[in-house]
Amino acid sequence: MSRRLLPALALLLLGAGVPAAEEIKTIPTRTGVTQSYLLLRRTETPVATVILFSGGNGALDLASGRLAGLGGNFLVRNRGRFAEHGFMVAVPDAPSDHADGLSRFRASAEHAADIGALIATLRQAAPAPVWLIGTSMGTVSAASAAARLRGESGPDGVVLTSTITRWNRGEGESVGDVRLGDIRVPTLVVHHREDACPFTPYADVPGLLRDLSRTPRRELLTFEGGAPAQSKPCEARAAHGYLGLDAAVVKAIADWIVATPRP
């Protein structure tokens, strides 16, 4: 199903970490393809721009004129908190030619091209560093784009939270499909020690850090505890989604980004 080009729309949304108003914007990317995204901007001089890649199939269904999918995802539900730290925030939907979701598409050159177009657009909107932040399946999108893109269409840094290190039949990809050694920007890895999702075991994190061998700066932030799980282990209302730790995790990520010198 194709998506028509949407004008900017004001959204009135309520929830933890979500601001009172944000916009839906749509840009052209590849030939005949458009990319919609939520945009939050509370200041004319953001300290950085962050692009938040949700997990699951990545489909927010913004063509409906509102956020209709993945609202509970760790990054999606905390987009307002990132804005509160002085960031301009973009949350991309699946592109128009993959409106049903990003399964088996996240590590592709085409997906990276869409992300590159979004990065270039956001650089024009604010002269600030652009960081890619992915969670769960979103780490494949963020890592692949960081490995493939350079210059004005490439990111200044990347954050991987609850990284998908093991292939699963449902989505068909992991960061094993990404040339992690091609990432040349600062990289933060965030993981919950008790993450019980079989595709994101904490035991895989040392190997992930070794594979990020050419980053100028890399670090691991480990979290523990939080609230009791309210969902299955691979879903967002569990340790996999930092349930009960939202504010602390967002602050730690924000502090790391701000403290990292721009290349």
User: Does 181 score more than 70 pLDDT?
Assistant: yes
Domain assignment present for 85: yes
**What is the arithmetic mean of pLDDT over 3-18?**
37
Provide the pLDDT for residue 7: 35
User: Does 41 score more than 90 pLDDT?
Assistant: yes
Give me the CATH number covering residue 132: 3.40.50.1820
User: Does 53 score more than 60 pLDDT?
Assistant: yes
Of 24-33, 56-65, 187-196, 230-239, where does mean pLDDT reach its minimum?
56-65
Domain assignment present for 181: yes
Residue 261 — pLDDT band, cuts 50, 70, 90? Answer: confident
* Whole-number Å distance between alpha carbons of 37 and 91: 5
Domain count, the chain: 1
What does the longest C-alpha to C-alpha distance in the chain come to?
46
Domain assignment present for 86: yes
* Whole-number Å distance between alpha carbons of 92 and 99: 12
Domain assignment present for 42: yes
Which domain covers residue 189, as residue numbers? Answer: 9-259
Closest to 244 in 3D by CA, of 227, 232, 259, 261: 227
Compute how many other C-beta atoms are within 10 angstroms of the C-beta atom of residue 7: 8
**249: alpha, beta or left? (left if phi > 0; alpha if psi -120 to 50):** alpha
Cβ neighbours of residue 111 closer than 8 Å, sequence gap 6 or more: 95, 102, 105, 141, 144, 145
Provide the pLDDT for residue 86: 96
Domain assignment present for 4: no
Domain assignment present for 1: no
Domain assignment present for 71: yes
Provide the pLDDT for residue 263: 66
Domain assignment present for 174: yes
Provide the pLDDT for residue 5: 32
